[in-house]
Structures are given as structure tokens and as C-alpha cells.
Chain A
Amino acid sequence: MKLAWHEWRAGFRPGDILVIGGGLAACVFFALTLWQGGVARWAEVRAGGKVVARLSLDRPASVDVDGPLGQTRVQVEPGRARVLSDPGPRQYCVLQGWLSRAGAVAICAPNEVSLRLLGDSSAYDTLNY
């Protein structure tokens, strides 16, 4: 049995192309609507547990926050944010580098400053049943 392409092509009727096109469109639609969760839109900066700044990730910005040890500097670029400098002794939050996904957090514990990225809807960071 020889399987020539024109044999298979005969299986397509005009409406079939429509249905397949609709199916592919549905795929694209689902991907666009359901795969948006990880995109970060806002950077939230807290000091001593209180929100001190909420920056849009649309444009570059930077903010200085005062804590018990001194000044922590947070830098924002389109789509990402990081702790640029911190007076803490071990520099964990600085070494974490750029954060780009919703729900990502950098915590400068000694200086009581934290940076957190938020999406359109709040993402879970833990689930418990």
C-alpha cells in the first residue's frame, strides 16, 4: 500500500480546514490566557513588614529604603527587578540577582527589607491541604 500525499489530502474537506484552523486558534487562545500567570507586573518593596513602594515593571526606576542597618537600594528594569545594594553582612538578597517571575522574592533580613514581584493575580508560593 503506497501512501501518497494526494491520497491523504483527499481526506480534507473545506469545513475540515475550518475546524482545524479553529482548533489551532483555540490552542493559541488557551496559551495566551492560561500561560500568563508567571508574568510579573509589579515590584513590591517592604521595610519592617510595611509596603513602602510598589513599582510598575514597565519602566526603569530605583528606590532607596531605610532599614536598621542603613540604606537598601532596589532597581527596576522593564520586566525585572533586583536588590542593587544592601548593608547586610552576607548580601544574600543582592547575590540573588535579577528577579523576573511573579512570586519571586528577595529578602534582606538583617536590614528588614524585602522585594517581591507580583503578577496580575496573586500566585501561590505554598499550597497546603
Chain B
Amino acid sequence: MTRSTTELPVTNADVRIARYAAAAIALSIAEAAIPLPLPGVKPGLGNIITLVVLARWGWREAAWVALLRVFAASLVLGQFLAPGFFLSVSGALISLGVLALAQHLPKRWFGPVSHSVLAAFGHFSGQILIARLWLVPHDGIFYLVPVFALAAVVFGTVNGLVADYLLRHASLRATPSD
């Protein structure tokens, strides 16, 4: 067998991103098994990992983990390129944009809970936007906005608390040395 002539050096960051993304994908898939009353309202447990990565390793890696999760989880669930996939992508992009701004809030006053709630609002805004422009071209969809907003506050708070708990208590060994 000949050795490959191309070399892809794997950095510590690559391994770290892969591990976090794997955890986020697992959470997303586990979440898909939870029955929910309204399409579009779900806890978004995978975002807990995004928040942890954001706090530990910064926005760039958080963006990698969030987008890898959206792509890989949709492939596993058979949703890739289905309408729900585009809703997830637009939600993830907008919430990453929100997080890019929110991470500069003073740390002393604003923790993962703030990041989580703000990102959750970004997420449902992105979804509503795509849904309104493409899937349901009628203002009737805005009737659901208060429900989504309430879900964003509740699940955003819970996810933020879990992320904060993990940041304080779990020994997050994500370097390849272990």
C-alpha cells in the first residue's frame, strides 16, 4: 500500500471541535425522540454544547460545532435538504450572529443564560423569517410568534443553566491528550 502523498495535519482544535460536535449531534438526535406539541418548538439541547464551546474556546469553534451539528444531525435524521433543514440552518446562522455580539457583553453581568436566551430568540427569528419568505408565504405564521418567543425564553434559560452547570462542574477534557 502506498502512503498518501497529501497530508492533512490534524490540530488539537480540530479534534476538540469534532468531539464537541459529536456530543451536540448525539443530543440533537436524542431530542428528536421527544414528542412535541407544536412543530418548531423544541428544547434545542444541542445548543448547550455550542454555549459551552463559546465560553471555553470562543466564537469560531462554537460556530464550527453548531453548523457541523446542524448538517450531521439532519443527515442522520433524514432531514438533509428538507424544509426543516433550511429552517435549522437559518436559525443557527442568525443565532451565531447574535452570539457574536452577545459574547462581548460584560462577563460579570451576563453569563451563559443570557447568551442562551438571546441565541434562542435569534434562532426562532431565523426560522420564522425563512418560513415566512418561503414555506408559508402568509402573515398567518406570525400568529405563532408569541408561542415561539415563550419557548425561546423557557428553553433558552434551561439550556443556559445546564451549560453554566457544565462549565463549572464537568471536567471538560477535550484535548487529545487524555
Q: Which of A1-60 contact B (CB under 8 A)?
A: 1, 7-8, 10-16, 18-20, 23-24, 26-27, 30-31, 34-35, 37
Q: How far is the CB of A83 from chain B (nearest CB, A)?
A: 29
Q: Is the interface of B mostly helix, strand, loop or mixed?
A: helix
A11-B160, A27-B149, A27-B150 as given contacts; A37 in contact with B143, CB under 8 Å: yes
Q: Would you call B114 and A13 a contact (CB within 8 A)?
A: yes
Interface string of B131-149 (1 = CB under 8 A from A): 0000000100011011001
Q: How far is the CB of B153 from chain A (nearest CB, A)?
A: 4
Residues of B within 8 A of A27 (CB): 146, 149-150, 153
Residues of A within 8 A of B168 (CB): 10
A13-B109, A16-B113, A20-B153 as given contacts; A26 in contact with B143, CB under 8 Å: no
Q: Which one, A1, A11, A30, A31, contacts B112 given CB within 8 A?
A: A11
Q: Which one, B105, B143, B149, contacts A23 given CB within 8 A?
A: B149
Whether a CB of chain A sits under 8 angstroms from the CB of B47 is no
- Which B positions have Cβ atoms within 8 angstroms of A? 105-106, 108-114, 117-118, 121, 138, 142-143, 145-146, 149-150, 152-153, 156-157, 160-161, 164-165, 168-169
* Beyond A15-B114, A30-B149, 5 additional pairs, beta carbon < 8 A: A14-B109, A19-B113, A20-B113, A30-B145, A31-B146
**8 shortest A-B CB distances, which residue pairs?**
A15-B109, A11-B164, A15-B110, A31-B146, A23-B153, A16-B113, A30-B146, A19-B114
Q: List 12 A-B contacts (CB under 8 A).
A: A11-B112, A11-B160, A12-B113, A13-B109, A14-B109, A15-B110, A16-B117, A19-B110, A20-B157, A23-B117, A34-B145, A34-B146
